Structure 1
Amino acid sequence: MNTRAFTLALVIAIFAMFMVHTYVEDQKTELVKRYGSMTSVIVAKKDIGEFELIDDSKVTIISVPQRFVSPGSFKTMKEVENTIATVPILKDEQITKPRITYPGESTGLSREVSVNKRAVSITVSDQTSVSKLIKPGDRVDVLAAIDYSGRRDRQKIMTILQDVRVLSTGRNISNNLPVIGVQTPKVIKQMKLNTYSNYNSVTLELDPFEVQKLIWLYQYGESTPYLILRNINDKEKVRIEGTRLYDILGEKDQVEAKKFFQDKYEKR
Structure 2
Amino acid sequence: MNKKNIMLPVVIAIAAALIYYFVLYMAQGKIRETSKMEKVAVAAVDLPEGKMIVRGNIKEVDIPTAYIQKDAYVISRGANLSDIENLVTKVAIARGNQITKPSVTSLSPESGISLKVMPSYRAFILPVDTNVSSLIKPEDKVDVLLTFDAMIKNGGGKEKMTATILQDIPVLGVGGNLGQGMDSASRAANAEREANNAAFSDRSVLSLSVSPVEAQYLALAQEEGVITVIVRSNGDRKVLPIEISSFSKLFS
Same fold (TM over 0.5): yes
Deviation at 1:175, TM superposition (A): 2.8
Deviation at 1:114, TM superposition (A): 1.1
More deviation in 226-235 or 22-31? 22-31
Question: 1:149-172 deviations in whole A, cap 9, x for unaligned?
Answer: 155786431111011111222222
Contact 2:150 2:161 in 1 (8 A): no
Deviation at 1:206, TM superposition (A): 0.5
CA spacing shift, 1:190–1:206, aligned 2, 3 Å: closer
For 1:237 and 1:193, locate their aligned partners in 2 and report how far apart those are by CA, in whole Å: 37
Name the aligned partner's letter for residue 215 of structure 1. Answer: A
Match of 2:70 in 1: 74
SS of the counterpart of 1:175?
A: coil
CA spacing shift, 1:114–1:241, aligned 2, 3 Å: same
TM-score by length of 1: 0.52
Match of 1:7 in 2: none
Deviation at 1:233, TM superposition (A): 2.3
CA spacing shift, 1:201–1:229, aligned 2, 3 Å: same
1:186-265 aligned at under 5 Å gives the runs 189=185, 191=187, 198=198, 199-219=203-223, 221=224, 223-249=225-251, 254=252
Match of 1:171 in 2: 176
Confirm whether residue 26 of structure 1 aligns to residue 30 of structure 2.
no
For 2:150 and 2:27, locate their aligned partners in 1 and report how far apart those are by CA, in whole Å: 86
Contact 1:130 1:228 in 2 (8 A): no
SS of the counterpart of 1:66?
A: helix
Give the gaps of 5 or more residues in structure 1: 1-14, 44-50, 53-63, 77-84, 179-187, 255-268
Confirm whether residue 115 of structure 1 aligns to residue 115 of structure 2.
no
Say which one has the larger Rg. 1
Give the gaps of 5 or more residues in structure 2: 1-13, 42-51, 54-63, 73-82, 88-96
Match of 1:65 in 2: 65
For the aligned residues, what is the CA RMSD?
4.6
Name the aligned partner's letter for residue 65 of structure 1. Answer: T
For 2:176 and 2:243, locate their aligned partners in 1 and report how far apart those are by CA, in whole Å: 35
SS of the counterpart of 2:206?
A: strand
SS of the counterpart of 2:114?
A: helix
CA spacing shift, 1:30–1:152, aligned 2, 3 Å: farther
Contact 1:158 1:243 in 2 (8 A): yes
Contact 1:175 1:193 in 2 (8 A): no
CA spacing shift, 1:106–1:133, aligned 2, 3 Å: closer
TM-score by length of 2: 0.55
Aligned length: 185
Question: 1:220-255 deviations in whole A, cap 9, x for unaligned?
Answer: x1x211000112322221221111224322xxxx2x
SS of the counterpart of 1:239?
A: coil
